[in-house]
Amino acid sequence: MKEKIYTDIICKGFCRYYKEGREEIHCNGYVLLRSNFTPYELKIMLNLFKPKKEIKKEIPDRDERLIDLLCKGCDFFIDGCDYADNISVTPCGGFLIVNLFLEHPFEP
Ligand code: SF4
């Protein structure tokens, strides 16, 4: 089940596929982000990286390892996800945020 505070950040902010009313399922990126970051930490990090307004339509380089990591266990993968199935070139919001974080590794 989604939590509104995370849904506002991840889905409404970053996902072009998000539709209200389907709060019982979420992508695996959402699960990973919610498990590892408080909403406050998530907002701080996203502010640091200053993603472009059009990030929802971003076409990241296809990373099969990230697809394996996130998509194979995702709620949406079972019924078919256009990105994971290579039909669409734009992934969901959770995937985009995880990809964004991986592109900006923290220096100790
Ligand atoms: S791109 Fe599709 S399968 Fe991959 S995490 Fe997002 S919704 Fe799930």
The DSSP-derived string for the chain is ---HHHIIIIIIHH-TT--TT-TT---HHHHHHHHH--HHHHHHHHHHH---GGGGG--PPP-HHHIIIIITT-HHHHH--TTTTTS-S---HHHHHHHHHHHSPPP-
**Confidence at residue 104, expressed as pLDDT on a 0 to 100 scale:** 78
Pocket test for ligand 1, best of 64, 83, 90 (most atoms within 8 A of CB): 83
For residue range 41-100, what is the model confidence (pLDDT) as tens digits? 999 999 988 777 778 888 888 999 999 999 998 989 988 899 999 999 999 999 999 999
Ligand 1 center to 80 CA (angstroms): 9
Instruction: State the pTM of this model.
Output: 0.91
Q: Please give the pLDDT value at position 107.
A: 64
Structure tokens at 58: 């971003």
Residue to mutate (ligand 1; options 15, 57, 66, 76; most atoms within 8 A of CB)? 76
Residue 108 reports pLDDT greater than 80: no
